[in-house]
Amino acid sequence: MSQAKLIALAAVVFLSCTQVTYAKTFCKPSNTTCWPNSTEIDALKQSLGPSINRQLKWTNSSQPRVTAVPINSASDQPLYGLSQNASLDPVYVRSQVDLGNTCFQPDASRYISTFCLASVRNYPYEGWTPAFVVWPVNASQVQIAVKFARKHNLCISVAGTGHDFLNRHSCADGVLIRTALLKDAVWDLTDTKGFGNADGNVKFGAGLVFSEVHKSAADNNRYVSSGWATTVGIIGWSIGGGHGPFSPGKGLGVDNILEVDIVLNSGELVTANSMQNSDLWWAIRGGGGSNWGVITAITIKAYKIPTGGFSFWQASWQGTFCNASLSQLDSFVDIYQNWTLTLNNQFGGLTFISPSFTNKTSDCLGTWSIYMSYVFQGPSTNANLTQFTTALTNAIKPTTSSTTSYANWWLLVQNKALEPIWPFAYLTPSSDYIGGLPSVLVSREVMSNGKWAAYAKARIRECLTRKNDNGCTRHEMYQDITGNVGSPQDQQVSISEGFRSAIVHYLVAYQDSTQIKALYSLGNNSYFSESAYTMDGFAERYWGSNYQRLQEIKAKYDPESDFACTHCVIGATASSDGITQFASYYLVLTLMSILISLF
């Protein structure tokens, strides 16, 4: 082909693939043409049944948690006790006073109103304040809320529990739909719906948290793949990837999604599974939350409790930065790295290494501690458990070590320490910190060749040179994904290829723009729900080669990006804050380069 023809072909491809439009401009309070008036707001409240009981109250430790609990909330009540003694309103409307203040400043001058309490959630950064907070009790009421937003051209965000580190539950001046009251649980232990999972399935309402989920599962002699924290919601965890103690054996959250009921931006309630709206089902299995619509229910796989129940192994080590003790830490890192490669799919766990600068000569300027906890799907007498734990503890003697057996997972969960949400900026980006929870998915190859151990040891030593959070930060290794020997490898998911094959989800907070390059050298992908707030190339890091298909599905089901959020799939448009989507340009420019290189 001649050079002229190649250039012409490249130009045609470029023009046909770059029809990039911009997201619509949403209505603002100053626009009386579209902004809802008091009569319309009252009509919305009445349509949602103001007399319906909407109480979120935690009774006591023998009962499951009902949703997330904000930091320093009296008696561990949700929403700082807003609905402890009375029902929630169906709709909370922001006032002019609310607009002129910022909720939950961590000092004596903080401003807290009823509207603030109704919208409380994790780390609200920029653009956090909605105009309306809606509390539906069923899917029909979610439809009403979505149609209200569409009628008045308002952006829509979704929050269940509020356990979101990356501000994906925010859209300024829009409608925040809280799904925490959708609490149904329907068990199908004999798989009458024909999903093909031998132990059955369960349909959970979008408002259920893992505390409630595990209690319900235990009551039915079952367990489900889940996260670690008790008040994390089933929806956000599942669709963002979902790592946890059972994932190496039973799959990630995305692997376990059989079906979802979801309200689209049109207000239509649809079902998505492998046979019906299968493209949307695939996208939801890894495409992330606050992006596709409002999920009202999710059907996931159930599993019979293993013979002998579950075993929970914990161990800890402590030391200083003195030469001999630091050498012991180095040895642990090397041994741990090789140990992870041997574990099979019965094990799922986490390891935290915490260095600390003390400035005490007797401590050689610093100390370190290690905490490990691993779950084994089987009894404590199982030879596999003994073999693998002693392989580590015999190499380096721990300070503490114990194994506890549980007949079902609820018995552990009901007494597990609470992980509160922080309703004020805590992991916010700054001049020397990229924000969020920077992470990388580490492959078996990187663990095998020693690259991870070399990075970890060097980064830990920065504690002595930086003497601040950017140096003395905790290293969190989650070996609770699907890289263990024999782990399932479901391919009908939209997570990145790197997530699918990784052995450890590695999280090291407090990274600056220089440090993050070294972390990212360990792998090309990060976990959607726990990652840096500031991230170049987020589409590639989250979804890899799946991103283009995700864009197409986003454009099909939400063409105007009524559901938009930070670093989410935004199709071939701009996000509502005006950030242009360049992914299609990258594809075209790559193709042009290939064509021209043929000369």
Count Cβ neighbours within 10 Å for each residue of 143-182 and write b for 16 or more, e otherwise: bbbbbbbbebbbbbbbbbbbbbbbbbbbbbbbbbbbbbbb
Mean pLDDT across 496-521: 95
395: nearest Cα among 444, 455, 342, 333: 333
Distances in Å between the Cα of 197 and the Cα atoms of 90, 191, 301, 408 are 38, 7, 6, 20
SS3 171: coil
Task: Name 115's Cβ contacts closer than 8 Å, sequence gap at least 6.
Answer: 92, 93, 94, 95, 98, 103, 133
pLDDT class for 573, splitting at 50, 70, 90?
very low
DSSP 545: G
* Pairwise CA distance, residues 544 & 559, whole Å: 22
Task: Name 417's Cβ contacts closer than 8 Å, sequence gap at least 6.
Answer: none
* Pairwise CA distance, residues 231 & 209, whole Å: 5
Torsion of CA 527, 530, 532, 534, to 10 degrees: 90
pLDDT class for 427, splitting at 50, 70, 90?
confident
> Are 242 and 254 a contacting pair, CB within 8 Å?
yes
pLDDT class for 103, splitting at 50, 70, 90?
confident
The model's pTM: 0.91
Residue 193 has pLDDT above 70, yes or no: yes
DSSP 579: P
Please write the tens of the pLDDT for every residue from 23-61: 579 999 999 999 999 999 999 999 999 999 999 999 988
pLDDT class for 126, splitting at 50, 70, 90?
confident
Please write the tens of the pLDDT for every residue from 285-337: 999 988 999 999 999 999 999 999 999 999 999 999 998 999 999 999 999 99
Q: Which domains does the chain have, with CATH numbers?
A: 3-25+543-596 (no CATH), 38-178 (3.30.43.10), 185-304 (3.30.465.10), 310-407+429-532 (3.40.462)
Residue for token pair 């002699």: 221
> Are 420 and 68 a contacting pair, CB within 8 Å?
yes
| pLDDT score of 572 | 60
Return the higher-pLDDT residue of 69 and 430: 69
Please write the tens of the pLDDT for every residue from 511-559: 999 999 999 999 999 999 999 999 999 999 999 999 999 999 999 999 9
Torsion of CA 589, 595, 596, 599, to 10 degrees: 170
| pLDDT score of 571 | 74
Residue for token pair 């009962």: 63
| pLDDT score of 582 | 33
| % residues pLDDT > 70 (the chain) | 90
**Averaged pLDDT of the chain:** 89
Region of 241 on the Ramachandran plot (φ > 0 left; ψ -120 to 50 alpha; else beta): left
What would you report as the CA-atom Rg of the chain, rounded to the nearest whole angstrom? 25
pLDDT class for 12, splitting at 50, 70, 90?
very low
The separation between the first and the last C-alpha atoms of the chain, rounded to the nearest angstrom, is 9
Please write the tens of the pLDDT for every residue from 465-484: 888 888 899 999 999 999 99
Backbone φ, ψ for residue 170 (5° rounding): -130, 140
| pLDDT score of 123 | 85
> Are 173 and 26 a contacting pair, CB within 8 Å?
yes
